[in-house]
Amino acid sequence: MSETSALAGPVEIVGVGLIGTSIALACRRAGLEVLLTDTSPDHVRTASGLGAGRARTPEDDPQLVVVAVPPDALGAVIAQVLDAAGPDTVVTDVGSVKAGPLAAVAAHRSVSRYVGSHPMAGTEHSGPLSANAELFDGRPWAITPGPDATSSATRIVEALALVCGAVPVHLSPAEHDRAVARTSHVPHLMASLVAGTLAGASADHLALSGTGVRDVTRVAGGDPRLYSQIIGGNAAAVAALLAEVRDRLDLALEAVTGGDRVGLESLLAYGQAGTRAIPGKHGAAPQPMAAVRVSVPDQPGELARLFADAGDSGVNIEDVRIDHDPGRPVGLVELDVVAGRAEELHAALESRGWTTHR
């Protein structure tokens, strides 16, 4: 079974940005010695000041080195670390794409001590000051050993994920890259294409924007430079899936143009089935949910009052959406609850003076 005892430290972090420093803090929380390395001495001082560890010295001999540098630099830095490290040091990285870095070191004499990994954690901020030890709590953390990796190296990297509170998910590097092409990179590109159709559209037309188009395009607000590195670094898997999507888009276009309602409905039904394939909360099968819609005055404290009243009802709120339609004098808040409890929440909120909608 999985356990954290394989990891005794010291752990060296190469690249103390958001992810690297967060891993350092989680390791310190677990009582491990942490060594910090970065091309910027300022970053090391900052991370050190946050309690993330101390600057590495030439005498140190880490058990595990975690490479947390930008996507395009990964291969070269992993190779350098393998060159310089002691004979027992294990090396991992935390990049968003896994086949590329492995290929860069496949011929290295010490490749058996390299095991790639990928924590699925938010990166909308950057730098050590944004770091925190809880960033990975309960998140999936892909562990992607190559064919030459030793099982003891894999265990040590898995132990790192567990020390950080994450849920290890074992995949080969190629499988990982196909998975994130599907769950992240192609969705990002498609959102970006939809968002592109809004650039330059007339204000009169955009005035009809509802919550749907906002949801679809939200991720396209991410940094184009970073996502170009991530998506570009996973070119083969992204291109294969994107070509499939293009073929289905052609079918959709044919169905729309040709008035083929049955074909169109079947494409939409296939998509609906796909939304149900996404794992539900905490990995459970998705439960049928119902939305309770409530009008909320747009003032500080009103959401607090709503959630206090919802909390008193004893019905757990699974998700929340706030409607931002233009011109709306009050906000519309949708509270998602397990379908069987929706009536109870409606009644509880109405009895406290809230206007709810079904």
* Interaction between residue 61 and its own copies (CB under 8 A): no
Taking alpha carbons only, the member of 68, 63, 187, 182 closest to residue 117 is 68
Among 55, 73, 174, 241, binds its own copies (CB under 8 A): 241
- The CB-of-83 to its own copies minimum distance in angstroms stands at 27
Cα 157 to the chain's mean position, in Å?
A: 19
- The CB-of-76 to its own copies minimum distance in angstroms stands at 17
* Interaction between residue 49 and its own copies (CB under 8 A): no
Nearer to its own copies, 35 or 135 (CB): 135
Q: Which stretch binds its own copies (CB under 8 A): 2-10, 37-45, 80-88, 320-328?
A: 320-328
- The CB-of-299 to its own copies minimum distance in angstroms stands at 7
Distance CA 94, CA 70 (A): 10
Structural tokens at position 201: 């559209």
Nearer to its own copies, 92 or 229 (CB): 229
* Interaction between residue 222 and its own copies (CB under 8 A): yes
- What residues contact 247, with CB distance under 8 A and at least 6 apart? none
* Interaction between residue 264 and its own copies (CB under 8 A): yes
* Interaction between residue 214 and its own copies (CB under 8 A): yes
- The CB-of-312 to its own copies minimum distance in angstroms stands at 7
Residues within window 271-310 making contact with its own copies, judged by CB under 8 A: 271-283, 291, 293, 295, 298-310
Nearer to its own copies, 149 or 189 (CB): 189
Pairing of strands 115-119, 140-145: antiparallel
Residue with tokens 């490479």: 67
Distance CA 174, CA 73 (A): 19
* Interaction between residue 212 and its own copies (CB under 8 A): yes
Residue 155 backbone dihedrals phi, psi, to 5 degrees: -60, -40
Among 41, 59, 204, 353, binds its own copies (CB under 8 A): 204
Structural tokens at position 159: 């132990």
Taking alpha carbons only, the member of 133, 141, 168, 139 closest to residue 34 is 133
- The CB-of-60 to its own copies minimum distance in angstroms stands at 29
Q: Which stretch binds its own copies (CB under 8 A): 62-70, 83-91, 104-112, 139-147?
A: 139-147
CB 37 within 8 A of CB 150: no
**Secondary structure class of 179 (helix, strand, coil):** helix
CB 189 within 8 A of CB 180: no
CB 103 within 8 A of CB 172: no
In the chain the first and final C-alpha atoms are separated, in Å, by 47
Nearer to its own copies, 107 or 208 (CB): 208
DSSP-derived letter for residue 107 is: T
* Interaction between residue 1 and its own copies (CB under 8 A): no
* Interaction between residue 339 and its own copies (CB under 8 A): no
CB 258 within 8 A of CB 321: no
- The CB-of-93 to its own copies minimum distance in angstroms stands at 17
DSSP-derived letter for residue 340 is: G
Among 21, 37, 117, 217, binds its own copies (CB under 8 A): 217
Q: What is the per-residue binding string for its own copies in 146-185, x denoting contact by CB under 8 A?
A: ---------------------x-x-x---xx-xxx-xxx-
Nearer to its own copies, 103 or 324 (CB): 324
Among 174, 195, 338, 352, binds its own copies (CB under 8 A): 195
Q: What is the per-residue binding string for its own copies in 69-108, x denoting contact by CB under 8 A?
A: ----------------------------------------
Is the bond preceding residue 71 a cis peptide, omega within 30 degrees? no
Cα 147 to the chain's mean position, in Å?
A: 26
